[in-house]
Amino acid sequence: MASSSSNEDEIGSEIMEAFLALFPRDNIYVAQDRDGDTATMHAVFRTVAMTAAGQSAGSASAEPKPEGEAIAPVITPGSAAGAAIPSGLVLSSEESNDFAEKRDSKGVEPFEDNDSIDNDTVHPAPAATLKEEIVNDAFLSSRLFEIKPILLGTPSSPTSELEEGLFAIHPIPAYTEIFREAPLIHGGPTWLGREAAVRSLTASKKDAAARLMGVCHCDSEYCRSETVLMQIWDSNNYAADGQEDFIYANGSKINHACVSNCTMAFTPAPKSYVSIRTKRDLVQGEEITINYGCEGPFQYREEKFAKEFKFLCRCDACINKLDVPRTDHAYHSEHKLFLATDTTTITVLGVETSAEAAESKEIREWAAEIEKFATGEEEKLYNLYKSLISAGARSLKQTPHHRPRPVQTWFEMGLMKYLRGDNKYHFDEDTLQCYLYRITKKFAVNFESVNMCPGFIYH
């Protein structure tokens, strides 16, 4: 067996793949379990987003719009741009009948949260006007919406704290793309890359990042391990359709409603632009909302919000304890098709300049070197454990390699030494200690779950 000092040096930086494994890829805004507990869910039997001029879920066609009030072109599966707004069944006839039986037996009516129905005097702006309004007059803002504070206790605010939301400046027709936006931070998938990227942002983008709320719902010990960016990221990130997680200056401010008025979709990597598009007509001053991925019966949503999202939803559907049909998947699919076939030239908010893109590339390359080092160090540690088990060891305490809190010891000897020696972006000690806590905690759990040998004690 190798000497103690030799193995300690080998162990010394052993913790880097945990660096990747540690960073949770969970997205609090996008529920992954869409099919969970669907037996009692009320599936959609008709699209909810009809023209806001009076068409109901049971009607076959829309009432005529006032002259000049044209609805934006709609692209639906199997149709060309400019086709009529769909009013057909989302489900098969069998599924529709099944839904109708459940609805009638329970006395439940689909909930339609459409503020424009209550206002007969406000009509959507003409399409030609909207086309002009989509041209942005500022780097991070659009003329179609504004950011406003939401007072404590407002139903659309999902948290118990003051926050901000997006509101329509003008009446906006159904199926209008309100804005398209580039990610705010381009540091890659690792925390150090993201922290470095924040330090390189322009003043306006740093201010936009600072305005995103970091609401921490974890235990106090874990809270102490978070940097400001970690809190902001955990509370505001979106998983861009299987791509990296990103935060957006405007997109991350959009609040949840179980019956939302907009959909969110993303363009393919590497651009990963977020697109926000209306599902129905919006009236002036109406808050722009999306569904974070939670539909179905009220009790199901309430439990899911508490367990997965850690907040109490106060949208109209939840206040009235109403069931919500599962419409969002169909709208999201249509939105993605729209992005794939869209030929318009909408101004994308927040796009990097060539200088910013070059700096982001340099940051990602630096972070990739950290990952490479980490992966190699974790592989060495796994191999060491395997060799100890092969030699008959059942506890590190029975070997000369044992030290109190060995995982943290290895991290400090290895990764921390490496980072302090290559601290290109000048992270302070508090920031590094946050990573120390997060990574060692996850690393210890990972090794305990490997179960390479029954009864082996890692600490």
Q: How far apart are CA 356 and CA 431, in angstroms?
A: 24
**For residues 110-136, average pLDDT:** 40
- The yes-or-no verdict on residue 80 having pLDDT over 50 is no
pLDDT band at 308 (very low <50, low <70, confident <90, very high): confident
Which pLDDT belongs to residue 397? 56
Instruction: Kindly state the percentage of the chain with pLDDT values over 70.
Output: 53
Identity (one letter) of the amino acid at 360? Answer: S
- The yes-or-no verdict on residue 22 having pLDDT over 50 is no
- The yes-or-no verdict on residue 332 having pLDDT over 60 is yes
Which pLDDT belongs to residue 227? 76
Task: Name every residue whose Cβ is closer than 8 Å to that of residue 166 and which is 6 or more positions away in sequence.
Answer: 145, 146, 147, 148, 250, 253, 254, 287, 288
pLDDT band at 66 (very low <50, low <70, confident <90, very high): very low
Select the more confidently predicted residue: 93 or 193. 193
Which pLDDT belongs to residue 393? 63
**For residues 306-324, average pLDDT:** 83
Select the more confidently predicted residue: 7 or 53. 7
Which pLDDT belongs to residue 363? 92
| Distance set, CA 266 to CA 22, 275, 350 (Å) | 25, 6, 15
Which pLDDT belongs to residue 305? 81
Which pLDDT belongs to residue 415? 74
pLDDT band at 410 (very low <50, low <70, confident <90, very high): low
Q: How far apart are CA 258 and CA 156, in angstroms?
A: 10
54-68, 161-175, 273-287, 431-445: least confidently modelled range: 54-68
Instruction: Pick the most confident of 100-104, 136-140, 359-363.
Output: 359-363
- The yes-or-no verdict on residue 71 having pLDDT over 80 is no
**pTM assigned to the model:** 0.62
- The yes-or-no verdict on residue 49 having pLDDT over 80 is no
Instruction: Pick the most confident of 106-115, 122-131, 306-315.
Output: 306-315
pLDDT band at 307 (very low <50, low <70, confident <90, very high): confident
**For residues 256-278, average pLDDT:** 91
- The yes-or-no verdict on residue 220 having pLDDT over 60 is no
- The yes-or-no verdict on residue 105 having pLDDT over 70 is no
Which pLDDT belongs to residue 408? 54
Domain boundaries, given as residue ranges, for the chain: 4-23+364-450, 93-182+248-351
Which pLDDT belongs to residue 286? 94
pLDDT band at 72 (very low <50, low <70, confident <90, very high): very low
Buried b / exposed e over 279-317, threshold 16 CB at 10 Å, is bbbbbeebbbbbbbbbbbbbebbeebbeebbebebbbeb
The mean pLDDT value of the chain amounts to 65
Q: Rg of the chain's alpha carbons, rounded to an integer?
A: 26
**For residues 235-256, average pLDDT:** 84
CA atoms within 13 A on the CB side of 448: 9
The label of the residue with tokens 């809270």 reads 223
93-182+248-351: CATH topology = Beta-clip-like (2.170.270)
pLDDT band at 289 (very low <50, low <70, confident <90, very high): very high
Structure tokens at 215: 């609401």
Q: How far apart are CA 53 and CA 261, in angstroms?
A: 15
